Amino acid sequence: MTTFTAGVKDLARRLFGGYAELLRMPHTARFAIGSVIACMPFPMVGMTITISVQHYYGNYSLAGALTAIQAIATAIVGPLLGKLVDIYGQRQISIPTIIVWMIASTSLVTAITHHAPEWVLYALVPFMAAIPPWGAMSRGRWTRLLRGDHERTDRALSLSGVLDECMWVVGNPLASTLAVISGLLAFSFTGMCVIVGALMFLTERTTEPPSQTQLAREAGLTRAQYREREAQKAAALRGTTTPTTTTAATPGNRAADEPSSTGRSGHSHGSIWGPGLVAVCATWFGLGAFQSAAGISIIAFATEQNMKQYTGFVFACFSLSSLTGALVYGAKNWMIPLWKRFYVCLAVVNLGIGSFLFAKHLWVIMVIYLVIGVCQAPTWINGNQLMLHLVPPSRFTEGMAWMGAMNSIGSSVGSAIAGAYIDRAGSHGGFVVVTALAIGSLLIALTGIRQIKSSTEAPTLTEVEV
């Protein structure tokens, strides 16, 4: 018994010791947990809109179209907000954005519950995209605090994945339960979370990374000059993989101060776009497409079986499994190359969700989710780690926002197509779309394997000193 207890303690230390160490750092727990609480609109709003609209309007096509519009709006607004956050600062952009979201959410739930004309819903839904990039801002704080410490940076990104999955585990069943009771109740809870989380995150100012405006002012440059200088340093760092790379990136080195070749970056100095970032964003587009199609198809499947109230718990099982995967994944120092881990996890998720077509009961889908979910969070963690190689530190929020935007665009495409097929052929038609999108998504990801592999062999750009 003593040996067993010691073994459990040792396992717990291995799994949670590194995470506990990170959260014991001054001020980190406050912004890390606050960002997760403020992110509650992500797991709850889409499902709340779907369930509420289907209840009041009896139309899956309308529900799918509205969630698609919200996703498209998020895809458009997300990178813009990320860029503005990098330029002006996290608090300066987040506060007015939150005010817009609160007004929009109140107006939308009022319109739905009063069965307003459909054009009113179409007009209000785009404003639901006014959500600060909490996850990207939190990860930006971690990368700044832990710059130069690869092991703890990777673990911090895994911790962010763990906390995100906790949010989804809680958010999905809450959304399905509260939305069935009242759409107003679901949106009220979400709004409360946004306010509490924002207060925790934004009032913690000691860990906030400096904006481009602050950095440019300190360097005696305009923002445009500063961004150009930073891009030149990043290009110099990308263009070499020798041990002298760090020297090439220092302010005093001529290679960093003069215009350099694009090297493996493949883009101009003023842009973060290169082959690696394009490949990652294309992959995230496909990931969003088939996963959103799976979500709306599962809701339709559960409705057909008179089990709609359990849909949130099915999604929560996926998140719980993903949470477990994130805990284990982040606790280990991996020797397998990042690009290989990325593709293995991606293939498991794609092929697993593609098999929903053959499920005959909602609980079968839940079991599949439990099995493949262990690779869901690691897939996102690997994507976050790829971003460390693709964008410099003062544009990290913008880069993460672009990745999320492509995922949102994919989600809009997937939910719109699946919604149309569900109205024509029921949930089976939706799952046919899911399988096709899952296989197509994997093929799209594989076409970028050379660029993604090359990106992981490049230096970590978030360590560029500017």
Say yes or no: 90 and 196 in one domain: yes
Say yes or no: 161 and 236 in one domain: no
Q: What is the pLDDT of residue 11?
A: 58
| pLDDT: which is higher, 372 or 222 | 372
Say yes or no: 363 and 237 in one domain: no
Structure tokens at 368: 């599949």
| pLDDT: which is higher, 9 or 430 | 430
Q: What is the pLDDT of residue 247?
A: 37
Give the CATH number for residue 284.
Answer: 1.20.1250.20
Domain count, the chain: 2
> Does 443 map to a domain?
yes
> Does 6 map to a domain?
no
Q: What is the pLDDT of residue 453?
A: 81
Say yes or no: 261 and 278 in one domain: no
> Does 393 map to a domain?
yes
3-state DSSP of the chain = CHHHHHHHHHHHHHHHHHHHHHHHCCCHHHHHHHHHHHCCHHHHHHHHHHHHHHHHHCCHHHHHHHHHHHHHHHHHHHHHHHHHHHHHCHHHHHHHHHHHHHHHHHHHHHHHHCCCCHHHHHHHHHHHHCCCCHHHHHHHHHHHHCCCCHHHHHHHHHHHHHHHHHHHHHHHHHHHHHHHHCHHHHHHHHHHHHHHHHHHHHCCCCCCCCCHHHHHHHHCCCHHHHHHHHHHHHHHHHCCCCCCHHHHCCCCCHHHHCCCCCHHHCCCCCCCCCHHHHHHHHHHHHHHHHHHHHHHHHHHHHHHCCCHHHHHHHHHHHHHHHHHHHHHHHHCCCCCCHHHHHHHHHHHHHHHHHHHHHCCCHHHHHHHHHHHHHHHHHHHHHHHHHHHCCCCHHHHHHHHHHHHHHHHHHHHHHHHHHHHHHHHHHHHHHHHHHHHHHHHHHHHHHHCHHHHHHHHHCCCHHHCCC
Say yes or no: 116 and 236 in one domain: no
> Does 19 map to a domain?
no
Q: What is the pLDDT of residue 255?
A: 38
Give the residue from 232, 265, 298 where a domain finishes.
Answer: 265
Q: What is the pLDDT of residue 45?
A: 78
Say yes or no: 115 and 227 in one domain: no
| pLDDT: which is higher, 11 or 450 | 450
| % the chain with pLDDT above 70 | 81
Say yes or no: 348 and 255 in one domain: no
DSSP state string for 260-304? ---GGG-S-TT----HHHHHHHHHHHHHHHHHHHHHHHHHHHHHH
Confidence of residue 273 (pLDDT cuts 50, 70, 90): confident
> Does 8 map to a domain?
no
Average pLDDT, the chain: 77
Report which of 144, 1, 120, 101 is spatially closest to residue 56, judged by C-alpha positions: 120
| pLDDT: which is higher, 176 or 152 | 152
Segments forming the whole domain that contains residue 259: 220-265
> Does 261 map to a domain?
yes
The yes-or-no verdict on residue 94 having pLDDT over 70 is yes
pLDDT in tens, 15-41: 666 778 888 888 888 999 998 888 887
CB contact burial 225-263 (16+ within 10 A = b; e otherwise): ebbebbbbbbbbbbbbeeeebeebbeeeeebbeeebebb
Confidence of residue 136 (pLDDT cuts 50, 70, 90): confident
SS3 115: coil
Say yes or no: 392 and 321 in one domain: yes
Say yes or no: 233 and 357 in one domain: no
Contact (CB, 8 A) for 248 and 260:
no
The yes-or-no verdict on residue 101 having pLDDT over 80 is yes
Say yes or no: 259 and 278 in one domain: no
Give the residue from 265, 280, 298 where a domain finishes.
Answer: 265
Say yes or no: 298 and 370 in one domain: yes
The yes-or-no verdict on residue 155 having pLDDT over 90 is no
Q: Which of 66-80, 247-261, 287-301, 427-441 has the lowest mean pLDDT?
A: 247-261
Mean of the pLDDT values across residues 86-107? Answer: 90
The yes-or-no verdict on residue 150 having pLDDT over 90 is no
pTM of the model: 0.69
> Does 72 map to a domain?
yes
Say yes or no: 226 and 323 in one domain: no
Confidence of residue 250 (pLDDT cuts 50, 70, 90): very low
Q: In angstroms, what CA-CA distances link 286 with 114, 133, 404?
A: 36, 21, 12
> Does 5 map to a domain?
no
Neighbours of 144 (CB within 10 A): 16
pLDDT in tens, 373-397: 888 888 888 887 888 777 776 677 7
Contact (CB, 8 A) for 434 and 353:
yes
| pLDDT: which is higher, 54 or 252 | 54
Mean of the pLDDT values across residues 166-170? Answer: 72
At 157, the amino acid letter reads L
